[in-house]
Amino acid sequence: MSSNTIAINQQMDHFDGHHSVWVFGYGSLIYKADFPFMQRRAASITGWSRRFWQGSHDHRGTPAAPGRVVTLIPDEGAVCHGMAYLVSPDVFTHLDYREKNGYLRRVVDIAFEDGSGDMAEGVVYIAREDNDSFLGPASEADIALQIAGSFGPSGPNSDYLTQLAVALRELGRDDEHVFAIEQHLLELIASKDGR
């Protein structure tokens, strides 16, 4: 599958006629809401795990030297915590562009984490392993090394990782994979500084 997913995503008609749609964010969408929204609520989805397995050629790396960003991998019973936004459907023009490097919209059941027990059907952007930019698994140490050396139009890849880790802590959520990569990155920086 081509890594530019804009045309495919525009074909989604599942929410046609809706005046608002929930979008679940689990990566940069948690901490960078550069779009208008009507509500924002901490939320989770079940059956998916967050992994730094997607290549970034357009935001946190370049085509010659891709960075690594998160996608979701099917994982029965796993709960992925993030942030849900209620948006007007016209926001999808912006989101499809932002997530165009391999991410496909997918319908998902979102559980809100305010103790209300509320659920809603919504959209999540997932970069599947059949997209051209998918990099796949690597050790957390190697992922940190790649992130430490990558930079793209949206800034250093390390900022993406650090901001995601901070946002997850603010949500009060643990993510062993993200925090292990962050720890490796901190060690790399410390060893570079000669500490």
Nearest to ligand SIN of 96, 140 (CB atom): 96
Nearest to ligand SIN of 6, 190 (CB atom): 6
Name the minimum Å distance from CB 126 to ligand SIN: 8
Residue nearest ligand SIN, Cβ-based: 27
Q: Which residues bind ligand SIN (CB under 6 A)?
A: 25-29, 69-70, 99, 125
CA 34, distance to chain mean position in Å, is 14
User: The tokens of 17 are what?
Assistant: 């006629």
Nearest to ligand SIN of 127, 144 (CB atom): 127
Name the minimum Å distance from CB 149 to ligand SIN: 19
Residue 167 dihedral angles phi and psi, to the nearest 5°:
-65, -40
Instruction: Give the chain's length.
Output: 195
In degrees, to the nearest 5, what angle opens at C-alpha 144 toward C-alphas 141 and 150? 145
Name the minimum Å distance from CB 25 to ligand SIN: 4
